[in-house]
Structure formats: C-alpha cells, structure tokens
Amino acid sequence: MLLIHCPYCEEERPELEFRNAGEAHIERPKNIAEISDEDFEKFFFIRDNPKGVTYERWRHIHGCARFFNAVRDTVSDRFVTTYKAGEPRVEVERGEDGLVRLTGARP
Amino acid sequence: MSGANRIKGKGRLTPAKTVRFTFDGKALSAIEGDTLASALIANGIHLTGRSFKYHRPRGILSAGPEEPNALMDVGRDAARRTPNVRATVQEVFDGLQANSQNRWPSLSFDVGGLNNLASPFFAAGFYYKTFMWPKAAWKRVYEPVIRAAAGLGVAPKEPDPDHYSNHNVHCDVLVIGGGATGLAGALAAAHAGADVVLCDEQPELGGAFHHETDAEVDGMPGWDWAQAATAELRGMDNVRVLTRTTAFGYQAQNHVGLVERVTEHLDRPDPALPRERLWQVRAGRVVIATGAIERHMVFANNDRPGIMLASAARTFLNHFGVAVGAKVGVYTACDSAWNAAFDLKRAGVSVPAIVDVRPDPDPALVAWAKELGIEVLAGHAVLDTSGSLRVRSMKVGKASGGSTRDIAIDALIMSAGWTPSVHMYSQSRGKVVWDEASERFLPGRNVQDCVSVGACNGDDELGEAIADAARAGHEAALATGRKAKSAWTAPEAETRTSWTGGMKGSAAGAGPDTTVKAFVDFQNDVTAKDIRLAVREGMHSIEHVKRFTTNGMATDQGKTSNIHGLAIAAEMLDKPIPQVGLTTFRSPYTPVTFGAIVNHSRGPLFDPARKTPVHDWEVAHGAVFEDVGQWKRAWYYPRAGEDMHDAVNRECRTVRAAAGMFDASTLGKIEVVGPDAAQFLNLMYTNGWDKLQPGRCKYGIMLREDGFIYDDGVVGRLAEDRFHVTTTTGGAPRVMHHMEDYLQTEFPDLKVWLTSTTEQWAVIAVQGPKAREIIAPLVEDIDLSNEAMPHMSVREGRICGVPTRLFRMSFTGEAGYEINVPADYGASIWEALWSRAEPLGACAYGTETMHVLRAEKGYIIVGQDTDGTVTPDDAGLNWAVAKKKPDFVGIRGMKRPDLVAPGRKQLVGLLTRDAKMVLEEGAQIVADPNQSVPMTMIGHVTSSYWSENCGRSIAMGLVADGRALKGKTLYVPMPDRTIEVEISDTVFIDKEGVRLNG
Amino acid sequence: MAKSAQRAQAAAEAIRVEPLLGRISGAAGVSLTPAKPAARVSLRANPVDAKTLSKALGLDLPLKPKTSSANAKGRLALWLGPDEWLLIDESGDPMADLKKVRALHSAVDVSHRNTAILVAGTGARATLEAGCPQDLRESAFPVGAASRTVMGKIEVVIYRSGESEYRVECWRSFSDYAFTFLSDAARDCLA
C-alpha cells in the first residue's frame, strides 16, 4: 500500500483513503457546446498512458475529499510530487540514477 | 526418553516435558519445544514424504523455513488441518496429527513411484512437448489427468473454525530477523529512543546460535547472550518483539507484511486467541537481518532420506538434542560442516569420514578432525549414494577420478556454503550485485529506506557484523527523527565456526557428461541434467530456464536451489554467473494462509450489509429481501400460501385500488446549498432549474460528458439557495463523486456546497388513491389539498411531531407522497402510517412491485432500461433536455455524429401477441425470424413483467428506430420458440396521467 | 373534529430509535459503547469566514488539518477538509446558532446520518488499528486529533477524545458493520 501526500492534509496518508481520477491538466473547454468533433475527441477520449512520468488527478475521497494533482512515475510506481487542483503543472525530469525529481531538484 | 536418537545432556529442551503426537497414524512422543522434524528424527524417522514429480522417497533436508521436502498435512482435528506445512517449522504439541503427502497407498510403498522408473520421459519441458497433439485431446484428456495428478496436499473441506486478526502498526524501525545482528540492531535502535518492532520466525531468538554453540558474545555463549538480549528488549516500552512471526512481503514505502503464528504450537489454545495475526507494519526504516541459508551439494542421488544440510544436523543436535544418525557421513565444500561433524563426534556419534571437495582444507580443521579420530578425504567427492527409504552408504572417490569405495552410513550431512538471504531486500525492489571477491549476490543500492546487516549482507565475521548492525540500528533511530539519549555499545563477539568455502552447481560425478539424478530443486524435482537440457534447447535467459524447468518455482522459492541452478546454466552458457543474472524474489517469502490475509473480513464482516431504519419491521412482516448493492431491500411481502408471483400481483393490485407503503430510504440524497446552487444544477442536469420555484420539484436527468444517461432522480427546491437532490440507490456514491469532481475542478468559482444526506432521511413512500387519507391526520403545518400541494411539490412541516420534508411525487403513476423523516424516527413513523394504512386496505410493497408499477407507467430505471450507451433521446426523454441552456455536462457529447445518426436504438413498449407470455429480460429482438443464423439483432428487451393491473404481460426494449415501428410486429427468438411482439408506446396504464392528480 | 385532535387520536409522537440501541461490547482492554444521540451539522464555508462562524458557534473552528476544537459546553468541531467541519453537540442546537450567520456557508443537519461508537481503554488504539491504516501513534494522532479515514471496508471519522478514548463516527447503515468489526478486533487488542 502506497503512502500519498495530500496537499490539503499536508501529510502522507495511506492509499486506501484515495481514489485515482484519471489524467490531470485536461481542461473542459469553456465553449464546449461549440467545439468541433475533433476537439471533442481530443478533450474527452484521447489519453496519454505513458511509460514513465504521468500527471494524474487523485481524490482524497476518504479523507479531506479534495481532488488534487499528482506526478507519478509508472515505471517505479513512485509519486514524485502532489499539488493542489488548479495549480500549474509541475515540471519534473529523470535523473541519471533513474529517479524522477522536480526539475532543478538535487538528487 | 522421547525418541531413541535423543542424546542425553544435549540440546536446550527440558526432557521431562513430553508430548504425544501421531505421524501417519502412529503414536510417537516428543519433547515440548521440538519441531515436527526434530521429533521425527528423534524417533528415527527420516522418510517424511514423496517428491512432487517422481514420487521419490524424501526426508528432512533442513531445520528451517527453507525446507523443500518435509511438507506435511498437520492438524488437530478435521477442520483444523493445514496441508504442506514444513515439518521443520511446525512445533509439536500434545495431540498433533501429522500425515505425509503425495503417496498412495502408503509412504513406504507408493504407486506413483512408477514415475521415477519412467523418469526419462518426464524431463524438463515434458509437458510442453508431449501434450501438443492432438490439439483436441488437451481439453478432454491431458488437462483433466494432469490436473488430477498435480498439486501437493489436500485442502480441508470444513469451514475454518478459528479466527484471525489484523494489526496495522507504525514504527520507527522494523528489524527483520532476530539473530545476533538483528538483536544488536534492535537494541541499538531501541536505546536511541526509536519505536522498534523486531520479528523472527522461530519461537526463540538467536538465529544461527541455534546450531553454532562455539560462539561467544559479551563473554557468554552466543545463545545465552541472545536470550538475555531478548529479555532486555521485551522489557522496553518502545519495543515489540514478535516471535513465530515471518516477514513475508516487503511492499512499497516500507510497508512490510508479517504473519504471526499464535496458536499453532499450543495443544489447547485459548479460543479467544486468533490462530494467526497479520501485522501490517509501516516502518521509518527497515533493518534487514535475515541471515543466510546453507546450500546442499549437488551429486548423484543426493535426495535420499537421511541426507541433509550440515547446519540442520547441528541444530538438531545442539538445540533439540537429537542425533540425525548413528553413522554420519560428511560431504562439504565449506568449513562450517566440519564444526557440525566435530559436534556430532563429540556427542558420541560415529563420523566415518569428512569428504571435502577442496584439495587443501584449513589445516587447523584437518588437525582437529585427526584429534577426534575422523578420517579426512580432501579433494574427494561423494559420487553416489545407496539406500531406498534411507541412505545406506556413500560412494566416495577422488574428484579427479580413479578408484572409489563405499562407506556405510545412515545419515549424510552436507554443505556447499551459504547463500545470503536477500529475499526481503529483493522484494523491496533492490537489485542484488555480484560480489567478485566472495562470489555471491549481495544487496546493492537501497531503493527504499532500509539497510541490510549481518550474513544477509555478506558480513561473515561475527564481531564486526554485530558492531555494524548496532551502528545501523542507531542510525536508523536517528534517521527517523529520534534524538538519541544514550548509545548502546556493541559487545565483543567471536565464533570458532567459519563459513569460508563453498561451491555452486554440480559436484564431481554429476557433470554434463553424466545422466545421474543430482537434484538441484528438491521440491519441484529439478535435476542438474534438466537445467542443462533447458539450455541446450535454447533457454539462454535464467528467466526462461526457470520457467522451462520450474527450478525455484515451488513454494520454497528456490531458497536452496537458485544459486546452483544459475551456476549450472552459466557453465552451460560459458558465461560468468552475474551475466546470466538472478531471478527476482517475490512475496510471500513463505506460504501465507488465506485466513491471515482475509483476517476479520469473514461472515458478517465480509461485506457491510446496509439496512434501512424500517428493516426490522420488514423482517417482522415477512419480507423477502433482495441485495441492491450493499443494501438489503424488501423485495416482496408474501402472505401465507403466496409465492412471489401471487404476492407481487396482490401488491400491484392493492396499490392502484387502495394504497401501498414502500421503503424508499435507500434512494441517494444530496443537499445542494449556496447562492449558485441552481446554476450548478443547470450544469449537472440536462434540465433547467432557474425557473423552479421553492416548494416545487422536477425530474432531472444527469449525463456524462459523452452524452449518455448517467443517473436520474427528482430534485426538490427547498429555498432559493437549497435543493434536495435524489439519485438512484446504486448511483448515490458515484453521483456525489461526479458532482464534486465538476464543482472542485471545473467550476470552483461557484458558491455552492454538496452534502450527502442519503442516511439522514428515512423515506416512506405512500402511493395510491388513499395516500392522502392515510397521511393527513399525522401531518402538521402542511396543506395537503391538490390546490395547495399539487403533484411534484415539496413542503417542510411536521409528521408525528418531528420535522419532515414531504414530497408529493410518484414512481407508480398514482397520487402519492414520499415522506422524508430523520432516520432514527423512520421506524416509529412507518408504524404510525401502517396503523392508518392497514385498516384502509393498503399494503406494504417491495421493490418488485415498485418495478412493475413503474413499468406500467413507462418510467425508466437507469441501469436497467439504460446501459451507459443510451441518450435522453434514445430513452424518449428529450422533453427533459433544456434547449436553450448554453452548457451542461453532456451537451457536446450528445451531438456526436453517432449519437444523432438515424437507426439508433430507442426505448419502446413491447406487447406479446400472446398476452400471457412474459418475455425474458435481455432477450434479443429480430425483424425476420426466418433469416439464417447469425440473425441481425435489432434490439433487446430491457424490462419485462406480468402486469396484474393490465391483465397481460408488459415489456420495454431498445429497438433500432423503434419509435417509427409502432404497431409493427417483431420477433424474439428463444431456444424453444419464437415470440411475436408488437411495438407500442411505453405507457401501459392511465395514458393521460389523471391518477397522478387524484 | 379539529385536525390536531384527529392527529393526537391517530398516533402518538414519534419515538427515536437509534441504530445501535442496546448494543454493548468489548473485551479485556477495551469497551465499546454507542454514543448518545447528538445534533450534528456538516458545515461548509470558506475558511476566511471561520471567525464569524466561530463566534456564532461559540468555539474556534479548527483550521489545521486533522485537528479539532471543543468548548466548555461540550460542543465539538472536527476539521474534515479545508472547507468542511463536522459539528457534534449532545445538548445544544448548532443549526439554530448558524441560522443567524450572514457569512456565506452551508449548514446541513446530519444528526441522523451519522452515529458514533465510543472506544475506550488501554487497547482502544489497537482495536482501531485492526481496521484503520492511518498512523495513530501519539506523535501522529495526539489527543484532539480527528480525521476522516477508513476502517475495514467502510469510511469513518475518528476523533481522539482522550488518552485512550476515541469516538468513531460512521453513517447509520454502516454502524452495524462498524460495531461488529470493532467487537471482533477488540478480542485481540492486547496483542
């Protein structure tokens, strides 16, 4: 069982309290009723599913109940960082040791 | 004396404390503290089972959890029986019943032993090659026969009468292994102030001191020091010492699973005690002190009963006071077996010879052997053994060839050196690294917050290992934020036993030029020859070799065999061992019972059974229940002599003729509060909410972004800024999640909050022409007249003196009410209503009648008449989709080309030509029943019932372009007949809806 | 006949039946008791308005995660989320107190949605640890700590009311499971 840092509870809590909520940073178009089929497809259906760094939404559903964003490395299943919903995408990079860290952070 | 092979004055057990047990029905005695293995050997029994594939007689190989051979069925009664228990781990208690496995009719004469004679046919990959053809035979012949013969042990058929418990614990430092280094690590961490959990799989701590009696720690025998250290740890408030506890799984972020065997060693366990405890430990840092496991020598017929690891023989002697034989041969490549031989000799056991493959073993050991009168055969090998049910002799010769001689023995102890136990480290996702100097795999970089100490880390020198472990323990405490008040000083320690030397792979006489059976993996019957065959057949990766031969794939996970198998493969491939690589160790380290994993989640705790406030009344009135998710819902209320059909027909009639009461408490409810509440609902539902007046309600449809129906329900507006939303019973949690998702992440600026109130309110539906008459006298502060409170309105007032939210609404097509009352009053108010309803001829009705009544009116059930691919238009609910709203969830999805294309399946009514015929839900619908198979299916039945009120069957279905086919005849082909149906609209009763306003 | 008289004739006042009425359990080291009925409010508001709300409620709404506050009259406020509190009051009426508040908020009566079990004794923590994966050690979960979390297969709110006393709040229909689970776990709480 993983421990996940909840940015609202400000501590690590057991995975059982959380629920994954799909890919992060996909904004619902403000004018959604008017967008083209292609744009709707991109918004609603197309997802990355990368091997490596993935940006996800999680919800601390059995805790503070807040949705938040997380960066996870699907290779190691490690959470790199988590941050509040609405905050800008956090940039990360993979170091020579294979670990993913915040860009600029020291190993 | 409990057993002829017990040696007076040896061992640590108390001879006076004897216990009785049986083995294959034979009564035997043992001493308290014995393992099943030590007790059997004490009684002169080495033959303990038959091997998995060849059914070869097998004995006890080890004295610990690595045991691949002595797997038994152990129990105290029929329900408390566990197959495949390692005799070397199971402690004997009074009344224990042990039985050997994999033999028929008896252990000494086993028909399956024919497999051994036929063994040339059972080489590695046999299954893959043999059962290829004919293909059809696999399913009918090969697989059933193989399955019948496969598997080891038989699971008990009775339910498990014991209970198990779970403990989630957090600690600063978890120490796995209670040998010298584990104890030192734990003491150092504990003295530095850390919360410590120390676990060890044995009943007593001390690790290798079980066999090594020539070690001294802090001026006392190693064993005594270990017991003193244990006592000290047990006395500390910040330490938890868990014995008989195996760390079996090292998961992410230092989450380690331990299983404690609580009562397995007790003759009359306290029934209050759990049989096993699962400890889920989350540790700041893990100190891995799991020691090392001795390897066997790989030579011809190395698997006869009586042939065992040298350290095991030494444990049996020094700890249990049992001699493994009267004439014990020694075959080794490692120094430590010599010490075992010396101990045996000193205890009065004859040791005819020490055979060491090394041409020049340590002169000190040789001198010692001479002094004790033991013949030393250096540079020699054991080339073969004899004896059918027990080893009788060993054939010894020079490794380089030449003459041989047979030496009579009744036991043979062996050592090919020690393999560090890197299982826990490997499970933590660490990658082992090949150490050139010592030629073994050792822990590399730590991936998690852990540290390996002692023999599992390749630290062979006792004093240094203890000092290192103490440092590691101290640092672990500091790393988890403890400020050390005192430091524990590691004691001086030394031992005369050396672990120097060893070999990997097959020994002389079992090389590539031979066809002898030299076993590498005892549990899966894999020989050196099998591994060579695998390489010859093209398996060049160790992962492929493993799967082709099954080497290391038994429940012992290759604890004794992996390195040998790897070395043989490397030799065949002509590559150095590290280039061939090591397979990954996975959890569990040793088998774990289902009981421990399931622990509390049995019986009523398997899944929560949710009951409404009215549940007890429903039970008392004979309701039959159905499961709806976790809810128990009253399904129907049969009276004496009624079957389900009769009861539902009566309930359906009664509701429309008089009235009925229905427990609707499970409906999901969400309170939506805030100035932007209506605006939020505009986005969540297809309908518009701005114009809904306080006191009125409306049926709403919720879509997903893809335009398909997600949920539905009636929403009441209590005030400008307060709505009472209802959802389907099953949909309540996901609708809440869905709404929170949009509110928090897409529309965070809206000033509105959501609160689940599903369980705040008990909901009693009173439906039917007499509904108002039933409730009126109980209701205060609300004018119930049609004019003041028409269909689809909501009022707050009081009923029976308590607050109510009273909805005038209907899911039956009758005039009716849904009375929301605070849940704890639900039962009492239900009774009050019932005492009014019953005399008026009303009935209580269940979910089945509710389904029929709503179908008579064509009301859909989301999830039954819709399946996640149905749009509002498909369901005939276009009227509920606001045409002028700029946005709502699903507004764009609904317009996707496929969702607006002609030919979509639409919800229609289905009337069978034969009015008595009730269609099967899920049945397919075709246009032409005479077309060839496979037919073109143009729709399916979603709801179908006998309608007592209509006097005929009614059904709904989704049919391609269905609304245009009204009046047309279609067909429902069934296995035994084809049913004709006419397409109709979906309202079967009171098409004008006058009853609603009654 | 007047309507009110009719009503009085037809039925007595409704009786409150609590979901765990009459249940009592425990084992050596721990007792399990259903808590008394209480008024409960799910309070939602922007934390900037906490001061105003606190004044009306007569206690300081906690603003730090996993904390709580109580007043002398026994009113309790648990932090459940950054804009969410659970108010519990066995004698007062927090809904009524909040009616006067003009600051934007949502107050929803959940008195009957939840019920609570009091878990007390030296084995109380171990009893909870059978089902709760959170770190409940003193350092992580001191007296006064409160958190929504899971216990076995259900969601609960755990509030540590004393050195070895906890209050476990759960939804009504899960209370049978919760009580049965805690009773089962209690048997091994001194392990």
CATH number at B510 reads: 1.10.10
Nearest CA in chain C to B823: C112
- Show the domains of chain A with their CATH numbers: 3-102 (3.30.2270.10)
Nearest CA in chain B to C172: B759
Cβ–Cβ of B429/A76 closer than 8 Å? Answer: yes
| Predicted local distance difference test score (pLDDT) of residue B52 | 85
Tell me what the mean pLDDT of segment B203-232 comes to.
Answer: 98
Contacts of C among chains (3+ CB pairs under 8 A): A, B
CB B71 within 8 A of CB B78: no
Q: Is the predicted pLDDT of residue C58 greater than 90, yes or no?
A: yes
Task: Calculate how close chain B gets to C99, using CA atoms only, in Å.
Answer: 14
Q: Is residue B242 part of a domain?
A: yes
**Considering its fold, how many domains does chain B have in total?**
3
On whether both B288 and B425 belong to a single domain, the answer is yes
- Please tell me if residue B524 touches chain C, with a CB cutoff of 8 Å: no
Nearest CA in chain C to A10: C65
Residue ending a domain, among B560, B575, B590, is B575
| Predicted local distance difference test score (pLDDT) of residue B149 | 61
Q: Is the predicted pLDDT of residue C161 greater than 50, yes or no?
A: yes
Residue A56's pLDDT band (boundaries 50, 70, 90)? very high
Q: Is the predicted pLDDT of residue B185 greater than 50, yes or no?
A: yes
Contacts of B among chains (3+ CB pairs under 8 A): A, C
Tell me what the mean pLDDT of segment B905-925 comes to.
Answer: 98
One DSSP character per residue, B515-572 reads ----EEETTTTEEHHHHHHHHHTT--SHHHHHHHH-TT-STTTTTTTHHHHHHHHHHH
Nearest CA in chain B to C41: B755
Q: Is the predicted pLDDT of residue B146 greater than 70, yes or no?
A: no
Residue C4's pLDDT band (boundaries 50, 70, 90)? very low
Q: What percent of chain B has pLDDT over 70?
A: 97
Nearest CA in chain A to C170: A62
Nearest CA in chain A to B170: A14
Tell me what the mean pLDDT of segment B344-370 comes to.
Answer: 97
Tell me what the mean pLDDT of segment A11-39 comes to.
Answer: 97
Q: Is the predicted pLDDT of residue B214 greater than 70, yes or no?
A: yes
On whether both B230 and B287 belong to a single domain, the answer is yes
- Which chain B residues have a beta carbon less than 8 Å from that of C149? none
Cβ–Cβ of B761/C106 closer than 8 Å? Answer: no
Q: Is the predicted pLDDT of residue B403 greater than 70, yes or no?
A: yes
| Predicted local distance difference test score (pLDDT) of residue B944 | 98
Q: What is the pLDDT of residues B480-506, one digit of tens each?
A: 988 877 889 999 999 999 999 999 999
| Predicted local distance difference test score (pLDDT) of residue B396 | 98
On whether both B234 and B339 belong to a single domain, the answer is no
- DSSP H or E run through B184: helix B180-191
- Please tell me if residue A63 touches chain C, with a CB cutoff of 8 Å: yes
Task: Calculate how close chain B gets to C184, using CA atoms only, in Å.
Answer: 7
Cβ–Cβ of C12/B613 closer than 8 Å? Answer: no
Q: What is the pLDDT of residues B937-959, one digit of tens each?
A: 999 999 999 999 999 999 999 99
Chain A, chain B: beta-carbon pairs less than 8 Å apart: 49
Residue B134, classified by CB atoms within 10 Å of its CB into exposed (0-12), middle (13-18) or buried (19+), is: exposed
- Please tell me if residue A3 touches chain B, with a CB cutoff of 8 Å: yes
Q: What is the pLDDT of residues B275-321, one digit of tens each?
A: 999 999 999 999 999 999 999 999 999 999 999 999 999 999 999 99
Residue ending a domain, among B552, B575, B598, is B575
CATH number at B446 reads: 3.50.50.60
Query: Which runs of E-coded beta strand occur in chain C?
Result: 25-27, 30-34, 39-44, 68-70, 76-81, 84-89, 106-109, 114-120, 146-151, 154-162, 165-171
Q: Is the predicted pLDDT of residue C3 greater than 50, yes or no?
A: no
Task: Calculate how close chain A gets to C104, using CA atoms only, in Å.
Answer: 20
Nearest CA in chain A to B706: A44
What one-character DSSP code corresponds to residue B746? I
Of the candidates A8, A9, A16, the beta carbon closest to that of C150 is on A16
Tell me what the mean pLDDT of segment B337-347 comes to.
Answer: 98
Domain that holds residue B550: 504-575
Q: What percent of chain C has pLDDT over 70?
A: 94
- Which chain C residues have a beta carbon less than 8 Å from that of B273? 188
Cβ–Cβ of C65/A8 closer than 8 Å? Answer: yes
Instruction: Compute the distance between CA of residue B700 and CA of residue B99 in angstroms, rounded to an integer.
Output: 66
Cβ–Cβ of C112/B761 closer than 8 Å? Answer: yes
CB B842 within 8 A of CB B654: yes
Q: Give residues 175 to 234 of B whose Cβ lies within 8 Å of C.
A: 195
On whether both B193 and B272 belong to a single domain, the answer is yes
- Which chain A residues have a beta carbon less than 8 Å from that of C82? 8, 64, 66
Nearest CA in chain B to C85: B755
Q: Is the predicted pLDDT of residue B217 greater than 60, yes or no?
A: yes
- Please tell me if residue A96 touches chain B, with a CB cutoff of 8 Å: no
What one-character DSSP code corresponds to residue B138? I
On whether both B282 and B343 belong to a single domain, the answer is no
On whether both B202 and B287 belong to a single domain, the answer is yes
Task: Calculate how close chain C gets to B496, using CA atoms only, in Å.
Answer: 39
- Which chain B residues have a beta carbon less than 8 Å from that of C129? 167-169
- Please tell me if residue B887 touches chain A, with a CB cutoff of 8 Å: yes
Q: What is the pLDDT of residues B712-723, one digit of tens each?
A: 999 999 999 999
| Predicted local distance difference test score (pLDDT) of residue C2 | 44
On whether both B373 and B281 belong to a single domain, the answer is no
| Predicted local distance difference test score (pLDDT) of residue C8 | 46
Q: Is residue B565 part of a domain?
A: yes
Helices B847-856 and B644-657: crossing angle, nearest 10°?
60
CB C155 within 8 A of CB C148: yes
Cβ–Cβ of B741/A21 closer than 8 Å? Answer: yes
Question: What SS3 class is residue B793?
Answer: strand
On whether both B182 and B277 belong to a single domain, the answer is yes
Of the candidates A8, A13, A14, the beta carbon closest to that of C82 is on A8
| Predicted local distance difference test score (pLDDT) of residue B17 | 93
The DSSP bridge partners found for residue A57 are: A69
Tell me what the mean pLDDT of segment B971-996 comes to.
Answer: 96
CA B925 vs. chain centroid, Å, equals: 42
On whether both B489 and B522 belong to a single domain, the answer is no
Residue B401's pLDDT band (boundaries 50, 70, 90)? confident
| Predicted local distance difference test score (pLDDT) of residue B105 | 73
Instruction: Compute the distance between CA of residue B772 and CA of residue B775 in angstroms, rounded to an integer.
Output: 5
Helices B180-191 and B462-479: crossing angle, nearest 10°?
30
- Which chain B residues have a beta carbon less than 8 Å from that of A67? 740-741, 744-745
Tell me what the mean pLDDT of segment B76-86 comes to.
Answer: 90
| Predicted local distance difference test score (pLDDT) of residue B77 | 87
Q: Is residue B953 part of a domain?
A: no
Q: Is residue B719 part of a domain?
A: no
Cβ–Cβ of C113/B757 closer than 8 Å? Answer: yes
Residue ending a domain, among B436, B464, B495, is B495
Of the candidates B744, B746, B892, the beta carbon closest to that of A66 is on B744
- Which chain B residues have a beta carbon less than 8 Å from that of A78? 252
Q: Is residue B649 part of a domain?
A: no
**How many residues would you count in chain C?**
191
Instruction: Compute the distance between CA of residue B349 and CA of residue B668 in angstroms, rounded to an integer.
Output: 78
- Please tell me if residue B748 touches chain A, with a CB cutoff of 8 Å: yes
On whether both B211 and B351 belong to a single domain, the answer is no
- Please tell me if residue B243 touches chain C, with a CB cutoff of 8 Å: no
- Which chain B residues have a beta carbon less than 8 Å from that of C13? 800-802
Q: Among A61, A67, A74, pick the best mutation site for testing chain B contact (most B Cβ within 10 A).
A: A67
User: Residue B402: which region, alpha, beta or left (left: phi > 0; alpha: psi -120 to 50)?
Assistant: left
Q: Among A12, A26, A28, pick the best mutation site for testing chain B contact (most B Cβ within 10 A).
A: A28
Q: Is residue B813 part of a domain?
A: no
- Show the domains of chain C with their CATH numbers: 22-37+113-191 (3.30.1360.120), 38-110 (3.30.70.1520)
Cβ–Cβ of B675/C113 closer than 8 Å? Answer: no
Of the candidates A3, A57, A86, the beta carbon closest to that of B253 is on A3
**How many residues would you count in chain B?**
998
Tell me what the mean pLDDT of segment A70-80 comes to.
Answer: 95
- Which chain A residues have a beta carbon less than 8 Å from that of C137? none
Chain B, chain C: beta-carbon pairs less than 8 Å apart: 165
Cβ–Cβ of A9/C150 closer than 8 Å? Answer: no
Cβ–Cβ of A64/C149 closer than 8 Å? Answer: no
| Predicted local distance difference test score (pLDDT) of residue B152 | 76
Q: Is residue B277 part of a domain?
A: yes
Q: Is the predicted pLDDT of residue B607 greater than 70, yes or no?
A: yes
> Judging by DSSP bridges, how do beta strands B411-415 and B328-332 pair with one another?
parallel
Of the candidates C4, C83, C112, the beta carbon closest to that of B824 is on C112
On whether both B400 and B434 belong to a single domain, the answer is no
Q: What percent of chain B has pLDDT over 90?
A: 89
- Which chain B residues have a beta carbon less than 8 Å from that of C113? 756-760, 823
Q: Is residue B441 part of a domain?
A: yes
On whether both B169 and B285 belong to a single domain, the answer is yes
- Residue B121's contacts (CB-CB under 8 Å, 6 or more residues apart) are B130
Tell me what the mean pLDDT of segment C110-119 comes to.
Answer: 98
Q: Is the predicted pLDDT of residue B344 greater than 60, yes or no?
A: yes
Residue C12's pLDDT band (boundaries 50, 70, 90)? low
Q: What is the pLDDT of residues B511-532, one digit of tens each?
A: 998 999 999 999 999 999 999 9
Cβ–Cβ of C66/A16 closer than 8 Å? Answer: no
Residue C9's pLDDT band (boundaries 50, 70, 90)? very low
